[in-house]
Structure 1
Amino acid sequence: MVRKLELEIRDYINASRRQFQIMGNKANWNKLCSALDLVGDTELAIEEYPNLCSTRSDGASYLLVYGILQTLLLQQDAAKHIADALGLKNIKRPMQLDEIRIIRNSAAGHPTSQKENGAHKSCFISRFSLSAVSFKMVTSFSNSSEPKFTTVSIPSLLEIQGKYIAELLEQVVDEIKKQEMEHRLMHKDNKLEDSFPQTLSYHLGKIYEATYTRQSFALGKVNLTTVSQVLESFKNALESRSEWGIYDSVNFHYEQLEYPLQQLDLYFDGESTFNEKDAYIFASFVEKQFDELIEIAKDIDKEYESEC
């Protein structure tokens, strides 16, 4: 379940708009990527742990116990950091995970010197009780002559960890789904395709016509201005969704259009060395780029109409 949720979160943050937004804060992006990797890496370690539990060596058992306790803490911190990096401050670490942190700190984090209720305490794992799957922890207090004995079952800790890490990650998935749906609902009725009026082909046709006769250059200039305004309208529509600059395909076609539109503008001003055939080829290229942008707009509109 943890692995599935990790992949779901990756899918959401790698969507163009969200990735673009998060990468605006490089520190947060790096934190998020590191935390997702760590959740996945620690889950691999947790899944492998049962296959290593046949050892009867005290040394190997210590390595396993120290290692798995540290792994659980790393995973808890990483899961919370995913929420933090996404700005989901309302998502807290489940309280049920606190006991695991206490056990880890006492047995494998800071066993020799801690404080509890104002008293100093020191902890150690009883070697006679130690196995790869359980141990007894002895805790001595500065204000008491009686030690405390705690039996720890690693499989029980793993069960608790799996349940509540999944719960935390599910909250993250639910929240980013909710945010995505709110964004789509806000914009889905404003079709990007509508940025390209039905009269676009008419204006492009007039540009074609104007390339052949100098007397039509003024008309060509007017229609070229209209076509450029259509392009600007599409850009504004994307900006209203915080999506300008995030689609590589859109960026590509805008870059492809810049030069031919400039050259046609010069041509209709009578300031170009191109002949009418050159201008016609430029006009044909412009029309092709617009066709591609319209198809991209349709695809984005379909995405906005769909469920997350």
Structure 2
Amino acid sequence: MRENQNIRNIANEILELQESIYEYINTNRYQADLIRDLSVWNQICSSLDVISDTTMAILSYCTGTYPNDKGLQYIYTYGLLQSLFIQQDAVKNLTKAFGQDYEISDELKQIRNIRNSAIGHPTYEPVKKNVYYTYLSRNTLSKNGFSYMRSSGNGEDVFHDVNVEEILEAQLLGVLEKYKYISDVLKKADEEHKEKYKEILVVDIFPSSMSYSFQKVAQGICSPEKGNVSFGGSMLESIERTYRSFEKELMDRNELQGNESLKYDLDQYFHAIDKLRKYFNNQAEGMTERDARVYHYYIKEKHSHFVKIAEEYDEEYLS
């Protein structure tokens, strides 16, 4: 069997769609929810790995050299059919992990039946009230397929011819159909999430008067007359309220869950604000004016970093 380009194209589509699923589950706002239930998270990750691995196995079977040794021919045939079986299970478990119903197609069910009869339970396969026994024809083993006889307890013998190329194409088409469905479900969920917030610009949380607030905080530090200290303290409170609103907006969008870097930056920012508040209230023992200037410089300069993050979120939600 020479490489079937159609099989290659279908496999490439599967792997491309898999990347879109990986992108979804690795997005912080969704990953945090998925990881809360480690059973679900592990089921998703394990299923994705198995589907990728078995797709690679199928492609290698198609492009590789089929052995002349009869023992290895059995190994190749057994391995291929088992790969198809566990790939189907992985697709089913992936679908269910995302909370979707799964129903196997007739084409995939037939492939499953071939595996069960030929290599899964060949010596004793109970089906309803009958038991079947399978004989795989050694002389028919080839890269292109094989034949087997299925005998029942009532003396009935049925011969089956398996075309490997046909079942591989049917298998991958079935996997592709399920992947498209899952990808569409996740894409719709992402669109609905963004639609909910797209009219609210995160960057609008930061008023244009922020530079004035930073200026007055600096004035309260450098020119510590009573009025300047009081007004500088009130401007510091205004800055903190703005950043609490920023933090809440990101939490509402589930953007802080799992984003340890951003959470750390915000914690550092609030720490600097708290230090300045204590300074204005004469509660920062040992803290000098120079120290206060350093903290002020930090919150003033770090502000542009958070504005940029807000703009990036707005761009993503509006895209």
Aligned-residue RMSD, C-alpha: 1.6
1:179 and 2:192 matched: no
Aligned-partner Cα distance in 2 for 1:93–1:288: 57
Task: Name 1:211's counterpart in structure 2.
Answer: 221
Q: Structure 2: any 5+ residue segments left out of the alignment?
A: 1-12
Are 2:147 and 2:160, in contact at CA under 8 Å, matched by a contact in 1? yes
Output the amino acid matched with 1:9: I
Counterpart mapping for 1:245-264 below 5 A: 245-264=257-276
Q: Structure 1: any 5+ residue segments left out of the alignment?
A: none
CA deviation vs aligned residue, 1:147-174 (integer Å, no higher than 9, x gap): 1111111111101011111111111111
The TM-score with structure 2 as length reference comes to: 0.90
Task: Name 1:108's counterpart in structure 2.
Answer: 119
1:142 and 2:156 matched: no
Aligned-partner Cα distance in 1 for 2:56–2:89: 16
The TM-score with structure 1 as length reference comes to: 0.93
More displaced stretch, 235-244 vs 51-60: 51-60
1:7 and 2:19 matched: yes
Which of the numbers 131, 136, 154 marks the counterpart of 1:120? 131
Are 2:240 and 2:270, in contact at CA under 8 Å, matched by a contact in 1? no
CA deviation vs aligned residue, 1:245-277 (integer Å, no higher than 9, x gap): 433442232122132112101111012232333
1:282 and 2:292 matched: no
Secondary structure in 2 matching 1:289: helix
Which of the numbers 158, 165, 172 marks the counterpart of 2:168? 158
Moved over 4 A (4+): none
Which of the numbers 206, 226, 237 marks the counterpart of 1:225? 237
Aligned-partner Cα distance in 2 for 1:181–1:168: 20
Which of the numbers 42, 45, 56 marks the counterpart of 1:30? 42
More displaced stretch, 38-47 vs 22-31: 22-31
Aligned-partner Cα distance in 2 for 1:94–1:256: 54
CA shift for structure 1 position 29:
1.4
Are 2:29 and 2:257, in contact at CA under 8 Å, matched by a contact in 1? no
1:303 and 2:302 matched: no
Percent of residue pairs bearing the same amino acid type: 30
Output the amino acid matched with 1:227: I
More displaced stretch, 112-121 vs 292-301: 112-121
Task: Name 2:107's counterpart in structure 1.
Answer: 96
Are 1:264 and 1:283, in contact at CA under 8 Å, matched by a contact in 2? yes
Are 2:125 and 2:132, in contact at CA under 8 Å, matched by a contact in 1? yes
Secondary structure in 2 matching 1:206: helix
- The number of equivalent residue pairs is 304
